[in-house]
Structure 1
Amino acid sequence: MRYAGIAWTDAGYRVEVVDGAGEQVAEPGEWGAARVGELIAWLRALSAEHALSVVLDSTNGLLDGPMTAAGLEVYRADPWLLPPRPGFGSVSARRLAQQARSAPGLLARVTSEGGSLTGRAEEYFEGVRRGEPILAGLTAAGRSFEHGHRGTPEVALTFDDGPDPLHTRQVLDILDRYGARATFFCVGHHVTALPDEVRRIAAAGHELGNHSWSHPYLPDLTPQQLREQLDRTGEAVARVTGQAPTRFRPPYGALTPEVLAALEEYPTTLTMWDVDARDWARPGPDQIAATVLEAVHPGSVVLMHEGAGDRAQTVQALPRIIEGLLERGLELVTVGELQSPEA
């Protein structure tokens, strides 16, 4: 068995591969965020030669989706198994690989159905439940937003985890065809790798939001690490477009009281959703479209994805979703253009 530990840094990903004895079996590699496809192809070639486990940590939520879709065995090493992380970045790739080698039974096998939080769903829902009173207070104060006014015939389509070198362009082309505007919640890791795609989003009149740097499970971060994720992503978007995002969408919607306490002091508006397309599970274009059209109401904010994985099904479903909404007389606007629910 071989173990590939993948660490993230401000520049991309570092990969180290060791065998069952802990010996290095391939030269450590550096991969930019725009080269994830090449990284996956390289790992698949290694797995064709020897059984291979790929190991990430819970602050890296951008790779498990495309890697599991590619047939790789992906595992997550949780914080209690690892040494403290640096201020920005994950623990080292070597440490992740060695953790898998020394105690593979302690790792969580990531599945396409469970996603990045496979095995931690109960913890996640309990944390969200505990945070609900605080979130309600932020919503009442105008600091959090789930949907717009139910009496106004408009809907906001939103896309997370991009930009992506292929699917972002396809989504933008479809939106342009229908004269629709949308909001894109981008991860800093991809913004720095694909600035031209970010410029294209902005130039087309769409809204840009902050979706963290590495798509971490926020409860596993310190308050300073959380702020660093938001700061660096906002700065990356501002360098490309001249304007930092004013909205933040938390990865997985993981808002515990501790996370919310850190965000209360941060100058941003939390932007949630009331319709989840569940396109990350890749149930097929027909199911994605049906899920959205069955759940949507005037004022809805629809959660979809155009990055960090194979989003071909989302792209295929999008025309049907847009046409279904337009047939109901609903205008497609950005989140910032939605009328307030209290209006």
Structure 2
Amino acid sequence: MSDHPSQQPSGANTTRPAPDRRVVLRSGFALAAGMSGAGALTAGCSVTGAVAHPAARASDTNPTARTARTSRATPTARTSGAPRAVPVAPSPRRFPDQPVEIAHGPRGRPQVALTFHGQGDPAIARAVLGEAEKGGAHVTVLAVGSWLDEHPELARRILDGGHDLGNHTLRHLDINAMSEADADAEIRGCAQRLRRLTGSIGTWFRPSRTAHASPLVRRLARGAGYPHVLSYDVDPLDFTSPGGPAVARRITGELRNGSVVSLHFGYADTVAALPAVLEDLHRRGLRAVTTTELLS
């Protein structure tokens, strides 16, 4: 379970063609059988088994157009030519009735939040978003800053789908084990990339390699502009690649009103599990909404 995002020359800002894949991404549990065990591209955020992400490039150049838009459009196929303007993303909000670290939303409303650690193969990321949208779900993506360096176009894709986009540190290292200066650089480094790409530092902050932020990390997150740290109460451990059916069973077995689920881009099992998860939510009268909507 290591992080190996593809590389490109520093400062490049062209859209790369989709790689030649031997496996067709599709919905359903058949995907897990075809791709389970294939080199995982992003590690989970538990400390156990964590492998450090390679250091991010020193350069911070991504001249993506940033013309403000006040509404989100339905996702459409991207045309050739100059990049389209990225809509201005919402800023973090303070919820006075919520603690600094939020693990779940109100238990009295039939809503849940599916949250995704944003890193890994961009084709799988797009497949996750596509499955969510087919099922009428809005999700929350906590993006790794170095991943946004490699795939800046995904910021627009996430926002165009009506999803939350937030901060999951710059390099996806064990932030609780860092010095104050290094931890602050991880939070602010990702925030800078989000602001450059979307006009906002993102809606939420989630610490990397841990379910719970240390008091120091919570303080640094507040200083960077994030009133809350986003944790979760359901963790199906999809990054261990247990198979799509197992991921779905773990989610549906633990889910209840207000739950925040921790999931990951970059794993075929996660894509395979989503149709069954969303079908179960529909059967139980639960809606999958962004974390912001969950708490509003």
Preserved contact between residue 159 and residue 303 of structure 1 (Cα < 8 Å): yes
Q: Are residues 1:293 and 2:240 paired?
A: no
The alpha carbon displacement at 1:168 in A equals 1.0
Whether the 8 Å contact between 1:158 and 1:184 is mirrored in structure 2 is yes
Matched, 1:321 2:288: no
Q: CA RMSD in A?
A: 3.6
5+ unaligned residues in a row in structure 2: which ranges? 20-36, 41-45, 53-94
**Which residue, 272, 280, 287 being the options, matches 1:331?**
287
Please tell me whether the aligned partners of residues 213 and 233 of structure 1 are also in contact (alpha carbons under 8 angstroms). yes
More strand per residue? 1
Q: What CA distance in whole angstroms lies between the structure 2 residues aligned with 1:256 and 1:113?
A: 13
Q: How many residues align?
A: 225
Give per-residue Cα distances to partners, 1:3-59, cap 9 Å, x unaligned: xxx9x9xx997xxxxxxxxxxxxxxx99x9x99xx9xxxxxxxxxxxxxxxxxxxxx
CA positional deviation for 1:260 = 3.7
In the alignment, what sits opposite 1:60?
none
Q: Secondary structure at the match of 1:238?
A: helix
1:184-203 superposed matches below 5 A:
184-203=141-160
Offset at 1:115?
2.0
Contact 1:163 1:186 in 2 (8 A): no
Largest Rg, 1 or 2 = 1
Structure 1 residues 173 and 261, CA, compared in 2 at 3 Å: closer, same or farther? closer
- The CA distance in 1 between the partners of 2:289 and 2:98, in whole Å, is 23
C-alpha displacement at 1:224, in angstroms?
A: 1.6
Counterpart in the other structure of 1:253: 211
CA deviations on 1:132-172 (whole Å, 9 max, x unpaired) are: xxxxxx99764221111111000110110326311111011
**Structure-1 separation of matches of 2:189 and 2:104:** 27
CA distance in 1, matches of 2:109, 2:97: 20
SS in structure 1 of the partner of residue 122 of structure 2:
coil
Q: In the TM superposition, what is the alpha-carbon distance from 1:255 to its structure 2 partner?
A: 2.5
Q: In 2, distance between residues paired with 1:261 and 1:205? A: 29
Does 2:104 match 1:147? yes
Q: Which has the higher contact order (CA 8 A, sep 6+)?
A: 2
1:273 aligns with 2:229: no
Question: What is the 5 A alignment of 1:297-316?
Answer: 297-307=256-266, 311-316=267-272
Work out whether residues 147 and 273 of structure 1, in 8 Å CA contact, stay in contact via their aligned partners in 2: yes
The structure in which a higher percent of residues are helix is 1
CA contact (8 A) 1:185 1:210 kept: yes
Q: Distance in 2 between matches of 1:294 and 1:320?
A: 12
CA distance, structure 2, for counterparts of residue 294 and residue 175 of structure 1: 19
Gap runs ≥5 in structure 1: 1-5, 14-28, 39-67, 72-111, 119-137
TM-score, normalised to structure 1, is 0.58
- Go from structure 1 to structure 2 and tell me whether the alpha carbon gap of 1:254 and 1:217 turns closer, same or farther (over 3 Å shift): farther
SS of equivalent to 1:290: helix
**Counterpart amino acid of 1:245?**
G
- Name the counterpart of 2:182: 225
